[in-house]
Amino acid sequence: MSGEPILRFEEVSKIYPLPAGDVVALDLVSLTVDPGEFIAVMGPSGSGKSTLLNLMGCLDVPTRGKIYLSGQEISRMSDDDLTRLRRDRIGFVFQQFNLIPLLSAVENVEFPIILTTDREESRRRAIEVMRAMHLNDALFTHRPAELSGGEQQRVAIARALVNDPDLLLCDEPTGNLDSKTGTAIMEILAEENREGKTVIMVTHDPNVAAYARRTIRIVDGRLA
Amino acid sequence: MFFSFAVRNLKRHWIRSALSIIGIVIGVVAIASLGIMGNSINLLVANVITDVGDTIVITPHTAIGGTFAGDPRTAVDAAIPVREVEEIRRAANPHRTIPVLQGADEVEFGRGESGYTQIIGLASDDIPILLDLADGQYPRQNQPGALVGTYLAAEYDVAPGSRLTIGNESIRVAGVLAERGFAADINPDYAIVVPDGWYESHFGARDTYPMVIVRVGDAEEIDAVKEAIDSRINRREDIVDILDSRDMLRQYEEIYQQITVFLVGIGGISLIVAAVNILNVMYISVTERIREIGVMRSIGALRREVLRMFLYEAVILGLIGSIIGGVLSTAFGYLISLAAVEVFTAGTTFGENITVFDLSAVGYIVFGMAFGIGTSIAAGFYPAWNASQLAPVDAMRQK
């Protein structure tokens, strides 16, 4: 990469207007993320971690300030453009796995690329990524409900990686898993990072945060 | 992709989907078969009405003038005096003016069968112009003879040569009239036609006529003739109402068209009920999948793709329902039409060779199906639109 940070926040604020008064979720946050980093975002609940992750993932736009994703300013983008950024450049891993219950494991994984790529190529790529996640071929046609938590999260990570994103965003990726399974998931994320993927992860578990090479602490919407 | 997704979701809740499909089926069947029914009534009426396109019918002016001759509200004791008839004759010249006498009397058909029957009196030389014979001969100038309407003849087994007793007077049957149908002027199928001389001597001369018919050879001239009569007779006040058979045909058509619209309207209501059901089903579907929609949006599904997915569901429901409905209404519509024809032509020979199921009936089926699909899409659109407009973050927060 040409020294361009993958993500840059310039005095970003996010304010939610509520009837009881405005809630400042993020207050003048500035930060940069370089390619290849593995960052843990930590903080008490309600501190603004999720808001930060949503803004990084182009799921939301800031009230004030500017966010650059690989040099592109996103806060004035249309919903369709933001959606395309999420589809092509960003991978999401959620605490609740958030697999689509109607789709089989392999269909879940190919969902982000089948929107842009032909069927055969999508399937080939999905299977390739799932095998890299050490998922047994027999599980590919299973529905999410038929998979264990660890398997579901590995399917979810495969889905996040299938579009070869610049940025992998994880929201409490081990929060719903026992510690052994959680450790296996963290090994996968660390491996992805070693291969050059930029990983940003929200967690409140210090053991999980230990995998990251940088920790961002956030309290009351400000970096601490 | 989004299509198979929609199919799977419909299958997942197959009872719900089946119920909405049934709703659409009922709606489509209702709209199509009621349309067909109205349509076949129209066809039937068109078949039964004799289109005498060159006839002007003049009746005494009544307060609700301008309606057709059979309107029961015109059944008042009014008649056109002979003086006006002569005026009409002059105005209509060179076209033939035919004054009509109409009354009723008890008629004995022999073998002890009798009943009140309409008696129509016409000038002997006018009869062949107005009426066709099925059997026998027209009564000769100075030899009284009756012509019997075809249904009356069939019902009482009357043939040329038999004798009837009208009131207390006996009269020979000269001929049996051909079936005439429901015409704008006179309807002799259930009546007896006698020469005017006999009529007047039987009922007593009255010098007034309940109806005057003008036969205009050329349909182009109808309006001019009507105008001439109107300006001559109705100069100071309206004495007569002047209608031609086209007006009456139009009036009948209007009435039956309205019946069709009314019937289709009833069908439409049931389709609206079906649409509300789809709306409800789609709303439930969207509501319980809000989180899923949020996930799809967050991993790259565009708004319009979400919209499309939910619209597919509505379209599939509408399509299946409409196709089944179309097939069923073809069957139902046919049966209903048969029943309608039977009711409308009970006791007559009309409609025996009428095909009630023609191209416009197919039109109603297509219309019903299109309406079914249309309402499904319309009902599915709002929930689908709502789903697509959800912010992914908010949607995913839903449990």
CATH number at residue A106: 3.40.50.300
On whether residue A91 sits in a domain, the answer given is yes
- Average pLDDT rounded to a whole number, residues A184-196: 92
Kindly identify which residue of chain A lies nearest to residue B291, measuring between CA atoms: A98
Both B269 and B342 in a single domain? yes
pLDDT digits (tens, 9 = 90+) for A150-186: 999 999 999 999 999 989 999 999 988 898 999 999 9
Between residues B61 and B176, the one the model is more confident about? B176
In a domain, B133, yes or no: yes
Q: Is residue B318 part of a domain?
A: yes
Q: In this structure, what are the phi and psi dihedrals at residue B23, rounded to the nearest 5 degrees?
A: -55, -45
Please check whether residues B182 and B116 belong to one and the same domain. yes
pLDDT of A56 reads: 93
- Total of domains in chain B: 2
Q: Is the whole model's pTM more than 0.80, yes or no?
A: no
Q: Is residue B220 part of a domain?
A: no
Domain of residue A119: give its range.
35-59+79-218
A/B interface, count of CB pairs below 8 Å: 58
Interface mutation target, options B293, B296, B299, chain A, most CBs of A under 10 Å? B299
In a domain, A4, yes or no: no
> Does any domain span residue B237?
no
By C-alpha distance, the chain B residue nearest A98 is: B295
Cβ–Cβ below 8 Å for B298 and A114 = no
CB-CB neighbors (< 8 A) of B12 in chain A = 102
Closest residue in B to A80 (Cα–Cα):
B302
In a domain? residue A207: yes
Residues B374 and B296 placed together within one structural domain of the fold: yes
Give the pLDDT confidence score for residue A104 in this predicted structure: 92
- Measure in Å the smallest separation between the Cα of B283 and chain A Cα atoms: 18
Residues B106-113: what's their mean pLDDT?
Answer: 81
Phi, psi dihedral angles at B100 (to 5 degrees): -120, 130
Cα separation of the two ends of chain B: 25
pLDDT at B74 exceeding the cut of 70? no
CB of A33 closer than 8 Å to CB of A60: no
B311 and B388 in a single domain? The answer is: yes
Q: Is residue A188 part of a domain?
A: yes
Residue A138, domain member (yes or no): yes
Give the per-residue pLDDT at A83.
92
Q: pLDDT tens digits, residue range B297-353?
A: 998 889 999 899 888 988 998 899 999 998 888 887 777 777 766 766 655 555 455
Any domain includes A20 = no
Instruction: Note the pLDDT of residue A200.
Output: 95
Q: In this complex, do B5 and A102 lie within 8 Å of one another by their Cβ atoms? A: yes
Q: Find all residues with CB under 8 Å of B229, minimum gap 6, and list them.
A: B56, B58, B88, B91, B92, B214, B240, B242
Residue A163 belongs to a domain: yes
The answer on B173 and B289 residing in a single domain is: no
pLDDT interval class at A142 (50, 70, 90): very high
pLDDT of residue B288: 83
Averaged over B70-90, what is the pLDDT? 73
Q: How many domains does chain A have?
A: 1
- B284, B391: one domain: yes
The answer to whether residues B184 and B297 belong to one domain is no
In a domain, B315, yes or no: yes
Q: Which residues pair with B104 in a beta bridge?
A: B118
Nearest chain B residue (CA) to A119: B1
Q: B43 with B101, same domain?
A: no
Inside any domain, residue A131: yes
**Domain around B192:** 96-215
Mean pLDDT of A116-126: 90
Averaged pLDDT, A128-157:
92
Q: Do B273 and B368 belong to one domain?
A: yes
Q: What is the pLDDT of residue B50?
A: 59
Residue B226 scores a pLDDT above 80: yes
Reported confidence tier of residue A90, pLDDT bands at 50, 70, 90 = very high
Q: How confident is the model at residue B51 (pLDDT cuts 50, 70, 90)?
A: low
Confidence of residue A14 (pLDDT cuts 50, 70, 90): very high
Partner-chain contact B300 A101, CB within 8 Å: no
Cis peptide before B94 (omega within 30 of 0): yes
Is the residue at B313 inside a domain?
Answer: yes
Question: A34-46 pLDDT, tens per residue?
Answer: 999 999 999 988 8
pLDDT at residue A1, as a whole number: 44
What is the complex's ipTM, to 2 decimals?
0.89
Is residue B290, in this structure, part of any structural domain at all?
Answer: yes
Tell whether B308 is covered by a domain: yes
Residues B196, B114 share a domain: yes
Same domain membership, residue B290 and residue B153: no
Q: In whole angstroms, what is the distance from residue B339 CA to residue B292 CA?
A: 52
Beta carbons of B299 and A111 less than 8 Å apart: yes
Mean pLDDT over B246-268 rounds to 80
Q: Verify that B265 and B386 share a domain, yes or no.
A: yes
